[in-house]
A and B are shown apart, each in its own frame.
Chain A
Amino acid sequence: MDLAFTPEEQKFAGQVRAFVKANLPADVRDKVKNGKHLIRDDYMRWQQALGKKGWLVYTWPKKYGGPGFTPAERYIFENICAEEYAPGIIPFGTKMVGPVIYTFGSEEQKAKYLPPIRESTVWWCQGYSEPGSGSDLASLRTRAEKQGDHYIVNGSKTWNTMGHWADWIFCLVRTDPRAKPQEGISFLLIDMKTPGITVKPIIMMDGGHEVNEVFFDNVEVPVANLVGRENEGWTCAKFLLANERLGIAAVPQSKRGVEALKEIARAEQDNGKPLIENRSFAEKIADLEIQVTALEFTELRVLSQMAQGGQPGPEVSGLKIRGSEIQQRITELTMEAVGEYSAPYLPGLLWQGSNEEPVGPEYAHLAAPRYFNTRKTTIYGGSNEIQKGIISKMVLGL
């Protein structure tokens, strides 16, 4: 056991930093640094640069075009990207459907779908939750009926993140309504341009649009787009959720968030002194930093197990629980630091990238919307109540 990076790892870190500095577009970096909202093109330019280098799908095995990073290299890569204000890599292609396709897909599917994910020329989105099926995902009702060489898909999906920018959607659909809930589900890939698909925005409590409802009205999907076997989609779904829960801990982003919070606490005044000198507030930040450190070392332990050849098991649910709570705590303390200047609501500045002057300090208008928006982290990807249920059953045997 050794915590220090080897000379090779240090050399790798230098390469990553040099690459990010040279290839992350300056305007995208500034947007991330200043908490501005990114558009599809911002993500795409950065992801395509990573794609050219072969690092976009940094979690994939070499066999499918991944760089074959060791766990330490993954950790270094993720942290340096966050430190340099790179946007988070959109997970739907790279961390969700890509691994499902190379694990369960046919050779034709691998050849067709994997290269555009590696190069980020196609934007994927997720069709899992439905209005009646949230935590109880297996109760989903979107129906796919086989007619000749097509499935006819009818139903609706919700909490579809960034689907308004997507080229393709991967969906869980019900192919056998008579089977037990988990046994009649299939995993389908659907081109978003197919006639019969409607995307309707859902406005979040911070006023933003990032998620949608997606409606399917007699949508024809070639049978060739089925991944794995019919009625065995639940296996893909479980595999994907385990992967999703790993990235969801967002440790590098939280480390960056704690640093940003400290900067704000240095800038904010409290009785004529920097807020960071207020004992009570400083201790709250310290407590948060300790939580982040505990999360980071838990994630390192998981990565280390995976280096020995294991897949992430139910224990990664714990990462999601704590990771999401920590993300919320960061936004809560940031809003506390900003104080009453959190109150002004400036949608133009927040959403349309207008040049309107901020009210108070530059960072103030982001504090409350972020706090509001981040309430989602303990809900999405399987709510924390569901995660705790999984751990109590699968890990503790209760």
Chain B
Amino acid sequence: MDLSLSDEQKQLQDAAERFVRDKYAFENRRKIAATDKGFLPENWAQMAELGWLGMSFREEDGGYGGGPIETMIVMEQFGKGLVLEPFLPTVVLGGGMIAAAGSAAQKEALLAPMIEGKKQFAFAWLERQSRYNLADVSLKAEKSGAGYTLSGHKGVVYNAASADDIIVLARTAGGAREEKGLTLFVVDGKAKGLTRRDYPTQDALRASELTFDKVSVGADAVLGKVDGAFPVVEDAVDRAIVALCAEATGCMDAINAATLEYIKTRKQFGVPIGKFQVLQHRMVDCFTNAQEARSMTLMATLKIDDKDPVVRRKAASGAKVQIGKSGKFCGQSAVQMHGGMGVTDELSVSHYFKRLTMIDLMFGNQQHHLTRYSNLAMAA
């Protein structure tokens, strides 16, 4: 057993650290968030140039042969800088599903340009009633001629406004919440009948509500098997969860470092407030929480390629529970220990806190994954 990074992986970590240091000073991030797209195309081009968009894909798919560890390394640094470029929806989710289920033609048409930085994706699965059930999908795709017609609604679709293609989870058969009967479609972001309502999110990302009004797609828009998308989606979402966990560990390290610095320098009653035992103990708990989060993220990263799907799912859910718990503890504690300054927009602390809060809500919160984990563990 060896849990240390290889030389190549260390170089990747250094490069990602450098990228965040150069591009994501806090005031810079504020400017990036305020641009039209909410991220910088030049940063995206640089990520492509550095090979980050292709590093986790197999060589036969046009990638550079890395895997979840490489994703973890960059996501952690992205968390430290609260990076806004759409790596998760485009590379981890979109690219991941195309690599897992796409035909040779789809990989050629979609994955190759994505790796070059020329195509971005969004993943539309959530609906108003779905909560965290990936199979609670009612957007309908009906056969029409050689292709399909999509009608319905999708919500909180990250990066939809900038995505060239939107990967849509639709119901082709079966009743409400049935896992069978779901199909993935690759839909042009500018397709006729597709309307968007764009908005920023609490954590300065961009998302959209999508309405599909008889959107026509060809048979070649189907990604993977008709009626058989669920296992692909579940697996891709578990991978996205593990990537999010890595991002969250980066956020926690950054917010803990900022808090530690603050309590060492902020003086009240004639001493730095870090001299008070009540704050010392809370700070220690923050560090312990961040350590546990890091450990669970590493565990899940190493198990997410396991052959046994139960092992993979337990790993993702276990890590997400830990991230939810630790993220909340570190975030809330950081704000509290910063006092009034912690609740202002001015300091970075509140921005890390908001991102950690939103990460808990994405793809199932702590409670959801605790239930999923316990169901998996008891069944085993």
Contact = CB atoms under 8 A, between A and B. Distances in A.
Interface string A338-365: 0111111110000000000001110000
Contacts of B207: 343-344
A164 to B, nearest CB: 16
B342 A339 contact: no
B367 A336 contact: yes
A129 B340 contact: yes
**Interface majority SS (helix, strand, loop, mixed), chain A:** mixed
B343 A385 contact: no
Contact of A373 (B133, B332, B343, B361): B343
A286 interface: no
B336 A379 contact: yes
Contacts of A372: 202, 343, 350, 353-354, 357
Interface string B333-349: 00110011011111000
Interface residues of B, number: 48
A272 interface: yes
Interface stretch (B14-22, B193-201, B313-321): B193-201
Interface stretch (B123-131, B250-258, B300-308): B123-131
Contact of A368 (B176, B202, B342, B345): B202
A388 interface: yes
A334 to B, nearest CB: 12
A335 B350 contact: no
Contacts of A368: 202, 354, 357-358
Contacts of B358: 342-343, 368
A204 B365 contact: no
Contact of A344 (B133, B199, B351): B199
Contact of A135 (B177, B209, B268): B268
B378 interface: no
B268 to A, nearest CB: 4
Interface string A296-338: 0000000000000000000000000000000000000001100
B205 to A, nearest CB: 8
B349 to A, nearest CB: 9
Nearest to A386: B268
Given A135-B268, A375-B335, A340 B361 contact: yes
A106 interface: no
B223 interface: no
Interface in A125-166: 129, 132-136, 139, 158-159
A272 B339 contact: no
A108 B128 CA distance: 62
Given A202-B344, A280-B367, A383-B339, A270 B155 contact: no
B155 A341 contact: yes
Most chain B beta carbons < 10 A, residue from A203, A270, A378, A383: A270
A167 to B, nearest CB: 24
Contacts of A272: 129, 136, 176-177
A341 B128 CA distance: 8
Most chain A beta-carbon neighbours within 10 Å: one of B128, B133, B343 = B343
B161 interface: no
**Which of A133, A158, A203, A269 has the most CB atoms of chain B within a 10 A radius of its CB?**
A269
Interface residues of A, number: 49
Nearest to B158: A343
Nearest to B370: A280
Contacts of B342: 375, 379
A375 B339 contact: no
B83 interface: no
A245 B267 CA distance: 24
Contact of A203 (B177, B336, B339, B345): B345
A339 B131 contact: yes
A85 interface: no
Interface in A227-282: 268-272, 275, 280-281
Interface in B159-206: 176-177, 197, 199-203
Nearest to A337: B131
B156 A159 contact: no
Contacts of A341: 128, 155-156
Nearest to A211: B340
Nearest to A346: B199
Interface centre among B131, B273, B278 (most CB of A within 10 A): B131
Contacts of A383: 336, 339
B343 A375 contact: yes
Contacts of A339: 131-132, 361, 365
Nearest to A383: B339
B68 to A, nearest CB: 24
Contacts of A53: none
Contact of B332 (A280, A342, A375): A375
A345 B199 contact: yes
A359 B268 contact: no
B340 A134 contact: yes
A287 to B, nearest CB: 13
A360 B155 contact: yes
Contacts of A270: 131, 133
Residue in B336, B345, B371 with the greatest tally of chain A CB atoms within 10 Å: B345
A207 interface: yes
A205 interface: yes
A376 interface: yes
B199 A280 contact: no
A203 B346 contact: yes
B215 interface: no
A371 interface: yes
A205 B350 contact: yes
A83 B346 CA distance: 36
Contact of A379 (B203, B343, B361, B365): B343
Interface string A204-240: 1101000000000000000000000000000000000
Interface of A: 129, 132-136, 139, 158-159, 202-205, 207, 268-272, 275, 280-281, 335-336, 339-346, 359-361, 368-369, 371-373, 375-376, 378-380, 383-385, 388
18 contacts: A136-B269, A139-B268, A204-B343, A205-B344, A207-B345, A271-B136, A336-B365, A340-B131, A343-B203, A344-B207, A359-B155, A368-B357, A368-B358, A371-B357, A378-B336, A379-B340, A379-B343, A383-B339
Q: Which 7 A-B pairs have the closest CB atoms?
A: A205-B350, A136-B268, A269-B129, A203-B345, A343-B201, A368-B202, A136-B269
Interface of B: 126, 128-129, 131-133, 136, 155-156, 176-177, 197, 199-203, 207, 209, 267-269, 273, 276, 278-279, 332, 335-336, 339-340, 342-346, 350-351, 353-354, 357-358, 361-362, 365, 367, 370-371
Given A134-B339, A205-B354, A372-B202, 17 more contacts: A202-B346, A205-B344, A268-B131, A339-B365, A340-B131, A341-B155, A343-B202, A344-B199, A345-B199, A359-B197, A359-B199, A360-B155, A375-B343, A376-B343, A378-B336, A379-B335, A380-B340
